[in-house]
Structure 1
Amino acid sequence: MTDRAGDRTPDTGHAPREGTGMSALEAAAALGLSERTIRRAIAQGHLNASKRGGVYRIAPDDLARYGTLRHVPHHHHDPQPPVLLSGGAPTRAFNVPRPLTPLLGRERELGELRERLLDEEVQLVTLTGPGGVGKTRLAIEAATTLRDAFGDGVWFIDLLPLTDPARVPGAIAEALGIRDTAGRSLTSRLMSFLEPREALLILDNFERVTDAAPLLVTLLGSCPGLKVLVTSRVSLRVSGERQFPVPPLACPDATPTLTLAEAAGSGAVRLFAMRAEAARPEFALTEANMAAVAAICRQLDGLPLAIELAAARAKHLNPPAMLARLNRRLELLTGGMRDQPSRMQSMRDTVAWSYDLLTPGEQRLFRRLSVFVGGFSLDAAVAACAGDEPGAGNPRHPPEGAATLAPPGPPSSVLDGVISLIDKSLVEPAREPAGEPRFTMLDTLREYGLERLEASGERELIQERHAAWCLALVESVEAERIGLAPRTGADRLGPDRDNLRRALQWLRDRGEASTGLRLASALWPLWLERGEVSEGRAHLSALLSLPGASPGEQVRARAVCVTGALAQALGDHDQAADLSREALLAFQRLGDVRGEAFALNTLGLDAMIQGDNAAAVAFLQDSLTRFRSVADSRAGAWALRHLSSVAFRTGDVARGVALAGEALTIVRPAGHYLDVARLLLNLSHAATLRGDLERAEAMGKEALDLFQIAGDRWGVADALQRLGHVALEQGDVAQASALLGASHSLFRDIGDPEGLVVVVVLLGWLHRAQGLRESAEDLIAEGLAIARRQGNPSRIASA
């Protein structure tokens, strides 16, 4: 039985006379390591051992395996244990994709990489090598086997959709669950989150954002327990970097005396055989085909992606036929032309060869699918790619009488085409889709597809279709969000965020202000609810300032209104007020009552936060009246909730309860559960003020459950803060400390200064209750300082 932690009997380090295997002391001497290193390897699960009579027993085979991989356990200092939000044991963060096939031919590289990542002198490792060499797969395998070596978690961040280095901090923050809000810089919040943690970040596909490399040095310099594993086609060239070149898979030598055992021992040949068998179950490596298979692997330079693409054709071509086809492309495949981009010099011909095997219809679908970034659904593929046309090209403005692109065809033809491309290893199903099946395309394949799309004359038209699909998706989700369409309950925007960003950028680059503003404006639920406020405001501001832009007054008014709401969320009160007033006047000229209501809602919320309660009531009451006049009950419930909050701030608890209760009767039957949760927190606060602590606790717990189900970390933090306040009023100091501590950690991680003010002051009250007067005063002073920095009168008063 392998010993992890079950037997707590002390190990004396000395072996008894009877029994087999080595003691920890003997194993350390055999490998030239410290006994402490061996014990830690056993504790962390890197070295199998049993314990008999109080002594570890290590089998020779297990020790040899450990010695081969040279496991050097990482030094740990455990951070503050996490506070459980809803019972159960704490779980270590681990979001690394789970491979569906084994890693072949990488035993040596895996062992060396693990050793480097466990070396206490190394914090930054960069896997370098050509496209398709297997850098990402090796990184995933190393992270999976080292899962237990990083006590606070392992995070995988795919930078493939990024081309702007400035977005790298946001991508890391998104993976870690850190919200983009007003207050400290994103880098500062990342440092605060990672500094106390023993963690591993895997940053995949870094080659297009190498200017962000100094950020890694900054993080590593402030976070001693952090390690970063980067995959990139170029080195980062920063201090502390340890490069780890990933070589191609080993191929058999070109010798007439090659044996079947020698061929099968090659990682490249094993990979080809495994993938060929998956495509054609009756395939097997034999004396008859081994020479051709070995030659294929050599001519593909041992690059895993090229080998996998070749092996997928085993369903239709035997190895000698494949080899004959490869010979026509050998020159470009092994080097390529010097005037081509470096990423194309090793893979272009491999992809072109696969492309040439497709039927004309499959080729057309493949190149059209390349417009999608980060994957696509079947509906998206139909909208952007379906349809047939005579001829090769699709000019945006075809000459009079020329053939034009047909409208989208039946979904079944696109589905059949996608399935065919999956079978030919050019498209793959997304791992573990949350709902509707999704599909992805490898980056190298996608880039080749875009080249073919450009050459075909189709790119501009297909890109327009892609943008039009994005706009239709977003506007339909917005209609659900504001109660104008039935809710589907699914997260329809999240999986396509990269597509939406790509469409927005394309529209900006094209100067398409009207469509771009419609798309960016309709994305306001994503900007606000996902904490991506800065990005949304940047897109809208850029589109609004396009030279010569004339989007029309309705589109502009709506964009200005949304930009004002985003400014308010970021704490830019002056811009929020100015833009909301501008939007209000425009909506009044247009006779757009719903638009007026939204602008007034932002003005009211901003006034409340700034402490002008009278103005807040006036704005919000006008907003409520207008929402009711257009029968927008859900938006009216937002105004009621804000009015309820104002009432609590002015001490009118009865009115606050009545307003929140009225709003709850609207949103609960409709299934708007995040709205329900926020209203429950209002009512929980009221119950606390009235001394009905049992009711306050019940409502707070219900809200917490709803926020956790929705993955709303801000809501979870707020609910924990409310429940901590209740526990404090109940005199349960231990529970209050746990809940408020968890809330404080979340508010700090997501960067919400207003939430921090409240929870820090409550922690001050808690310390007072514990008789810790000095620390209590320090905490209250800290809350006051945060409120003053934000210029928030109401929070200053509470502090």
Structure 2
Amino acid sequence: MAPHDIPIKQILRPLKKLIGRQRDIERFLELFTLRGSRLFTIVGTVGVGKTQFALQVASALQSSFPDGVCTIFLDSLFDHNLVLSAILHALGITEVPSSSDLETLCSFLHKTQMLLLLDTFEHLRPAASFFPRILDACPGITILVTSRAGLKVRGEQQFPLSPLDLPNFTQKYDPEVLAHNPAVALFLACTRTHLPQFQLTAENVYPIVQICAHLGGLPLAIELAATTGMQLFPPRMLLKYLEQHPLHILVNEEQDIPERQRTWSKTIDRSYSLLQPQEQRLFRRLAIFSGGATLETLEDLYERLGEKRHHILQELAVLTNHRLVISPSEGPTDLSHFRMLQVIRAYGRKCIDVEGETNAIVQAYTAYFLHLAKEIEPQLIGAAQLQGLDILEQEQNNFRAVFTWLVECNEIENALELAAALWRFWSYRGYVSEGYQQIKQLLKRCQDEMVSAAVRAKASYAAALLAFFQLHTAAMKEYLQASLKLYREVGDRHGYAVALNAMGFCELLQGHDENVKTYYEESFPILQEMGDRWHLAEAYALVAREAQAQGNYVRARTLLEQSLVLIKEVGDRRAIVQALDFLGQIICHLKEYETALHMYKEKSLTALELGEKLLIATSLEEVGAIATIIGQETWAAILLGAGEALREISWGLISDADQRRVDDVKMQLRAKMNEETLTRIWAQGRAMTPKQALLASSLETSLQQKTDSIPLSAPDTSYHLSMYPDQLTQRQVEILRLLAEGLTDKEIAERLCISPRTVNAHLNKIYPKIHVSTRSAATRYAVERKLI
């Protein structure tokens, strides 16, 4: 048969429109146009849509190949030795007994200009060794392959196909906008195949976005969830079911689809079966990690399980090549963790159960993260604080999973130890509500015979401090009383002294200034004896607050200067910020504004090192207030402009006290410069980085000489717990956000692990604060103030 007589099997066009892949198609066509290779492999994880993408690409390339496109589906071929025979058969070429299949194929194709599309090749990769020889002998041939793993042969150009883009979770849940997101658009299109009238609405947009995110943007998983799941459940129920039983719901009953795509489990079965036993073992080990794992963490897990770990790196390379694991190099932010998509991890968890490994792996997993939390805990009040917080932040999902395992196994003592080690992390990184609920529930479950007194003492102290951040001073006092009693019982003098400090602060909060002395007089000698500089600095600050309450600002200043020296020796930046803040407030009261300015500038620069936007914004505004007092109006306007810009990228949050300070400074500036000048300088500040704004004092060209008039009131730099409008607490904002997303009281209660009655009680307090009486008005309030 002559080459030009070869009956070409034309490409099969996709029956469905390919959604969300236009940009990927354009990228591939650009790559093809460069003509740098004639062997292309579309690689991607299970269910990412490689086949449909390849068909679409091949259709777009047909005009480039005069002799056409031949598509060969290889999912049912299991012997790699038969691949060349399958290609010959697809082309209609008769095998020649005296020649090898390779020789026969090359002799017929050497003058042909054709695209060969070989679909589902991952289980036949040894046969790829023939491809370079085919391409050398046949200059008009281009080969396009789909495979879950690269072929690793000469001349191969891989094209990684990623899951569909997911919505940006910092944006509003606007149905009209999100309907155009690729993952959401695919979900809607698949749902409408059996529910033609289905629409994206304000009520269902949140769960649908979360469904797409939970499925990792994988087209096949989204199609299965939409076609089967949406026939059974509304979006909210489907999301809940997917979170609990993803492998049960991800099925397809259409009769004409390949067997491997009928269920999600069957889709992954082939990839798992292609792995060597040791690679399968690593796949199962990695599946236990909710937030992924570093190489060091995996090695530690193997060691705890008594397993050899010599070849973990090579095995990880195989798993990433098969696109079962996402390597750190593929992540946009996390540069240390190997991760799995949730639906792949669910399959891995099933494999753990099948192998009977669950108990051993869970014990090793929980032991590792309990050790990690306790190891990092001391760093959270020292110079290595930021590094420690960052490590804990990266492992937050793993810690959540560990709590779930420990509670399910009734290991309450270990769970309380973990909570007591993490309370500073929760308070510093904005997880106060979550942490407080966790530790409160654990203490409720705690029975004397189950948990040692030492662990209960430390956990009660942690609960007290978290209660403080939630403005629950009564609960704070109860927990501290329990903690002090338990520390006395076990003879832990250091823990007892630390709790005494906290109790003294609690008395101040409740206005019982006369009781404070009792606590610090007892804690001071213990802390001095033990050389605990951090808590000794805290005790000095406590006495300073007592002196402030008594109007003795000179003594308060002396005590705070001693406290600041100690805390700088320790190197805790956050505590340095708080000490500078308090000292600046006292010095302002003494009207030493130049000195106070240096305090607040140092506070701002330290806040920059911490990287917390709201804290930086507040610090800039405080410096601006002092700058106005000493006649540096231009610099003040720059600082407030920079602070305003920073708040806008931090949800626009500002406490009432901070807002009053800004308004007060603005009023003073308007009295000293015209509106046009103020607007221009303010805009310059908005365009600056915080550090540039702080260093802009040299630009000062004061529009008016300093006068002896009564100055602007000194900034109120006392610690503000609420950064939300109308004095809403963090818990109230959480509830308001969920309400605005369309959740019922019962659903809010489930999400926050509280009772519907508690939710209703919160709403009864929220409505008067924000001056509304209906859910729709509360939703509008949340949207207008950018709380969602």
Alignment counterpart, residue 425 of structure 1, candidates 313, 318, 323: 323
Q: 1:408 to 1:248 in 2, by over 3 A?
A: same
Find the aligned partners of 1:621 and 1:289 in 2 and give their Cα distance.
89
Which has the larger Rg? 2
Structure 2 residue 615 is matched with structure 1 residue 715 = yes
Find the aligned partners of 2:442 and 2:427 in 1 and give their Cα distance.
19
Residue 446 of structure 1 is matched in structure 2 by 345
Within-5 A mapping of 1:122-133: 132-133=47-48
- Deviation of 1:516 after TM superposition, in Å, equals 0.7
- Deviation of 1:700 after TM superposition, in Å, equals 1.5
Within-5 A mapping of 1:388-399: none
Within-5 A mapping of 1:725-744: 725-733=625-633, 735-736=635-636, 739=639
Find the aligned partners of 2:427 and 2:620 in 1 and give their Cα distance.
21
Q: Is the 8 A contact 2:513 2:546 kept in 1?
A: yes
Find the aligned partners of 1:308 and 1:499 in 2 and give their Cα distance.
37
Structure ranking higher on relative contact order (CA contacts 8 Å, 6+ apart): 1
Within-5 A mapping of 1:221-240: none
Find the aligned partners of 1:705 and 1:265 in 2 and give their Cα distance.
64
Q: 1:536 to 1:602 in 2, by over 3 A?
A: same
Partner amino acid, structure 1, of 2:526: R
Q: Is the 8 A contact 1:700 1:723 kept in 2?
A: yes
Q: 1:264 to 1:420 in 2, by over 3 A?
A: farther
- Deviation of 1:544 after TM superposition, in Å, equals 1.7
1:139-185: CA deviation from partner (whole Å, max 9, x where unpaired): xxxxxxxxxxxxxxxxxxxxxxxxxxxxxxxxxxxxxxxxxxxxxxx
Residue 350 of structure 1 is matched in structure 2 by 267
- Deviation of 1:765 after TM superposition, in Å, equals 6.7
Find the aligned partners of 1:680 and 1:693 in 2 and give their Cα distance.
14
Residue 683 of structure 1 is matched in structure 2 by 583
Residue 152 of structure 2 is matched in structure 1 by 315
Find the aligned partners of 1:657 and 1:267 in 2 and give their Cα distance.
82
Residue 569 of structure 2 is matched in structure 1 by 669
Q: Is the 8 A contact 2:284 2:348 kept in 1?
A: yes
Structure 2 residue 390 is matched with structure 1 residue 491 = yes
Alignment counterpart, residue 473 of structure 1, candidates 362, 368, 372: 372
Q: Is the 8 A contact 1:507 1:513 kept in 2?
A: yes
SS of equivalent to 1:315:
coil
Find the aligned partners of 2:620 and 2:460 in 1 and give their Cα distance.
35
Within-5 A mapping of 1:326-725: 341-343=248-250, 346=261, 347-386=264-303, 406-407=305-306, 409-410=308-309, 412-431=310-329, 437-482=336-381, 491-546=390-445, 550-725=450-625
1:178-225: CA deviation from partner (whole Å, max 9, x where unpaired): xxxxxxxxxxxxxxxxxxxxxxxxxxxxxxxxxxxxxxxxxxxxxxxx
TM-score (norm 2): 0.54
1:325-372: CA deviation from partner (whole Å, max 9, x where unpaired): xxxxxx999989999623365443332211111111110011110111
Find the aligned partners of 2:383 and 2:599 in 1 and give their Cα distance.
29
Q: Is the 8 A contact 2:544 2:556 kept in 1?
A: yes
What percentage of aligned pairs have identical amino acids? 23
Alignment counterpart, residue 24 of structure 2, candidates 104, 110, 113: 104
Find the aligned partners of 2:24 and 2:665 in 1 and give their Cα distance.
59
Q: 1:484 to 1:334 in 2, by over 3 A?
A: closer
Q: Is the 8 A contact 1:384 1:469 kept in 2?
A: yes
| Structure 2 portions without partners, runs of 5+ | 1-20, 29-44, 74-108, 125-143, 157-219, 230-246, 253-260, 673-711, 730-788
Residue 293 of structure 1 is matched in structure 2 by 118
Partner amino acid, structure 2, of 1:428: I
1:592-639: CA deviation from partner (whole Å, max 9, x where unpaired): 122222322322223333443333454344344433333222222233
Partner amino acid, structure 2, of 1:371: I
Find the aligned partners of 1:332 and 1:661 in 2 and give their Cα distance.
60
- Deviation of 1:749 after TM superposition, in Å, equals 9.0
Find the aligned partners of 2:385 and 2:577 in 1 and give their Cα distance.
20
- Deviation of 1:720 after TM superposition, in Å, equals 2.5
Find the aligned partners of 1:568 and 1:711 in 2 and give their Cα distance.
23
Find the aligned partners of 1:660 and 1:262 in 2 and give their Cα distance.
84
Q: Is the 8 A contact 1:721 1:759 kept in 2?
A: no
- Deviation of 1:583 after TM superposition, in Å, equals 1.0
Q: Is the 8 A contact 1:560 1:580 kept in 2?
A: yes
Find the aligned partners of 1:264 and 1:699 in 2 and give their Cα distance.
76
Q: 1:471 to 1:652 in 2, by over 3 A?
A: same
Q: Is the 8 A contact 2:328 2:335 kept in 1?
A: no
Q: 1:602 to 1:308 in 2, by over 3 A?
A: farther
Q: 1:289 to 1:262 in 2, by over 3 A?
A: closer
SS of equivalent to 1:545:
helix
SS of equivalent to 2:288:
coil
Partner amino acid, structure 2, of 1:492: I
- Deviation of 1:554 after TM superposition, in Å, equals 1.4
Q: 1:455 to 1:333 in 2, by over 3 A?
A: farther
Aligned CA RMSD, in angstroms, stands at 5.0
Segment drifting more, 429-438 vs 563-572: 429-438
Partner amino acid, structure 2, of 1:249: F
TM-score (norm 1): 0.53
Q: Is the 8 A contact 1:482 1:632 kept in 2?
A: no
Q: Is the 8 A contact 1:664 1:676 kept in 2?
A: yes
Across the two proteins, how many residue pairs are aligned to each other?
498
Residue 57 of structure 1 is matched in structure 2 by none
Find the aligned partners of 1:648 and 1:436 in 2 and give their Cα distance.
47
Within-5 A mapping of 1:40-439: 103-105=23-25, 132-133=47-48, 248-249=52-53, 251=55, 261=65, 290-294=115-119, 310-315=147-152, 341-343=248-250, 346=261, 347-386=264-303, 406-407=305-306, 409-410=308-309, 412-431=310-329, 437-439=336-338
1:459-507: CA deviation from partner (whole Å, max 9, x where unpaired): 2221221111111111011122356999966722111111111111221
Q: Is the 8 A contact 2:426 2:432 kept in 1?
A: yes
- Deviation of 1:717 after TM superposition, in Å, equals 3.9
Q: Is the 8 A contact 1:514 1:552 kept in 2?
A: yes
- Deviation of 1:518 after TM superposition, in Å, equals 0.7
Find the aligned partners of 2:384 and 2:632 in 1 and give their Cα distance.
45
SS of equivalent to 1:293:
strand
Q: 1:620 to 1:767 in 2, by over 3 A?
A: farther
Q: 1:754 to 1:428 in 2, by over 3 A?
A: closer
Q: Is the 8 A contact 1:365 1:385 kept in 2?
A: no
1:357-406: CA deviation from partner (whole Å, max 9, x where unpaired): 1111110011110111222112211222457xxxxxxxxxxxxxxxxxx5
Segment drifting more, 552-561 vs 333-342: 333-342
- Deviation of 1:265 after TM superposition, in Å, equals 9.5
Find the aligned partners of 2:58 and 2:727 in 1 and give their Cα distance.
75
